[in-house]
Amino acid sequence: MKTIVRLLAAAVVALASAASWGQTPAGKTEVLWLGQSAFRITSPGGKVIVTDPWLKLNPLTPPEYKNLEALGKVDVLLVSHGHFDHFADAPALALLNQVPMYGPGDMNQTVGLLGILPPNLVPRFNKGGTITPAPGIKVTAVRAEHSSVIVWKNPATGKDESHYGGEPVGFIIELENGFRIWHMGDTGLFGDMKFIAEYYKPDLVLMPIGGHFTMDPADAAFATREWIKPRYVIPMHYGANPLGKGTPAQFSQALGTSSTRVLALKPGEKATF
């Protein structure tokens, strides 16, 4: 009889452990927009993810966030490509937090060879690759239709030089509770957006709408309505450059009636999921 009781107790403990292991974090996901393509994403487990940090010279970034320390401890740093309005403050953030800067593999190789960052802070991965940069966080690099160069001031000559920045990427960011965010980076329309959406099933898409360098509101609305059909979209990459004239109002008008909820944040505003 005692043996049976011990076996039942052991089974209860095993089931409780399995249930605990499978539970999702009780917290929520917070997404803070800082202008252009810069976001601070706080995961349900409290991990801080920063994307495309152009902050100090970004005219839309709230003054308090031009101090990089105001972001708090950064656990994951993602850069979609080498253009200044995505890359500018990434090396400083990587050094401040001693956290790797993840981006296109060839871009990071250039950054390392130029001595902008030490080798341990510029790991390489590429489109189709998935990394686990922090416990419970998965990031997959996906296609973006754009370009990428790094403009670097040569300390020996004092002149700006243009260096190869690899191929631009977007990121599928999967959080501890399974919530998936597609940060599209800078991109124009391309048919594989439909495949990416069907395969990775993002809940939230951070989508450029400015035009000129990326999709404009009509392009972004077409991709949202016909191909991606996510639960939520946060428009980005507009307003910081006079050429990025698209607006969330134009995007919503072009989207029309849709099950997708458009969250038009102002820089410094947060959305919680």
pTM, 2 dp: 0.90
pLDDT in the model for residue 73: 97
Q: Tell me what the mean pLDDT of segment 227-233 comes to.
A: 98
Kindly report, residue by residue over 74-130, the tens digit of the pLDDT.
Answer: 999 999 999 999 999 999 999 999 999 999 999 999 999 999 999 999 999 999 999
Q: Does residue 11 have a pLDDT over 80?
A: no
Task: Name the residue ranges covered by the structural domains of the chain.
Answer: 27-260
Select the more confidently predicted residue: 266 or 13: 266
CA 61 to chain centre: 17
Q: Does residue 22 have a pLDDT over 80?
A: no
pLDDT in the model for residue 25: 42
Phi, psi of 268 (to 5 degrees): 95, -10
Burial class (CB in 10 A: 0-12, 13-18, 19+), 237: buried
DSSP state of 25: P
**How many angstroms separate the CA atoms of 273 and 271, rounded?**
7
CA distances to 9, 245, 246 from 237, in Å: 57, 10, 9
pLDDT in the model for residue 27: 83
pLDDT in the model for residue 40: 98
Tokens representing 239 are 């307003």
- CATH of region 27-260: 3.60.15.10
Phi, psi of 229 (to 5 degrees): 55, 50
DSSP state of 174: E
Average pLDDT of every residue of the chain: 92
Backbone conformation region of residue 220, classed left if phi is above 0, alpha if psi is from -120 to 50, else beta: alpha
Select the more confidently predicted residue: 117 or 25: 117
pLDDT in the model for residue 267: 98
Kindly report, residue by residue over 50-70, the tens digit of the pLDDT.
Answer: 999 999 999 999 999 999 999
Rg (CA), the chain: 21
